[in-house]
Chain A
Amino acid sequence: EIVLTQSPGTLSLSPGEGATLSCRASQNIIVNYLAWYQQKPGQAPRLLIYNAFSRATGIPDRFSGSGSGTDFTLTISRLEPEDFAVYYCQQYGSSPPITFGQGTRLEIK
């Protein structure tokens, strides 16, 4: 099973600043099959990034993904008020199970 470790656990920033969220895998993720999701309170997760760097439909270009192998990053440039949420990484590159990171909470400073 691939274990995903996200850091930091909580990130406190102000609107307009940039955010960098990390996701580290315990093994190489095949074909960079890694996704990022955003979850707001009381809502289902929403797909932001897939295949490590491809933006999902309707996602603003201030969200970008990068990385390969075992180290992946979600970058949010110029934070908007609606971006403050919990972010999860997920891998889908290997046999079961699908695994998620424990999440990074992005909060307003």
Chain B
Amino acid sequence: EVQLVESGGGLVKPGGSLRLACVASGFTFSDYSMNWVRQAPGKGLEWVSAISSRSSYIYYADSVKGRFTISRDNARNSLHLQMNSLRAEDAAFYYCARGGPYCGGGMCLLDHWGQGTLVTVSS
């Protein structure tokens, strides 16, 4: 069974930093691209970032470019999101999601999702 478990969320002040983690199990992690998607409470879904299976290709939403860094450790089946210069509008549940087998232009179907970790940005 595919499992994705996020951690690292919490309360941070504007301008602060946070590092999220996602640990994967139940599949060969190094065969799949991975993504971060966020959802502000009561709002819709927003794709944040994607990384290919061997980290060769990395993509970011314009809203986080230059502030967030996605990375992965295939030996540890883990995905990370380093978030710097956090703003109030970055407050959300952050989900990691596996990239499925269908991809266009580097973007893939999101076939499995974790339960999310909550990031709160407030002074």
Contacts and interface: CB of A to CB of B under 8 A. Distances in A.
Sort chain A's interface into a size bin.
20 to 34
Contacts of B37: 98
A3 interface: no
Interface string A45-73: 11100110000100000000000000000
Interface in B95-119: 95, 100, 102-116
Q: Is the interface of B mostly helix, strand, loop or mixed?
A: strand
B47 A100 contact: yes
A93 to B, nearest CB: 4
Contact of B107 (A37, A46, A94, A103): A94
Q: Is the interface of A mostly helix, strand, loop or mixed?
A: loop
B59 interface: yes
Closest 3 CB pairs of A and B: A95-B105, A93-B104, A98-B47
Given A45-B45, A94-B104, 19 more contacts: A37-B45, A43-B115, A44-B113, A45-B113, A50-B100, A50-B109, A56-B111, A90-B110, A92-B102, A93-B104, A95-B106, A96-B50, A97-B59, A97-B61, A97-B62, A98-B107, A98-B110, A100-B44, A101-B44
27 contacts: A30-B104, A30-B105, A31-B104, A43-B115, A44-B115, A44-B116, A47-B109, A50-B109, A88-B45, A90-B45, A90-B110, A92-B102, A92-B104, A92-B108, A93-B105, A94-B104, A95-B105, A95-B106, A95-B107, A96-B50, A96-B60, A97-B61, A98-B35, A98-B110, A99-B47, A100-B44, A100-B47
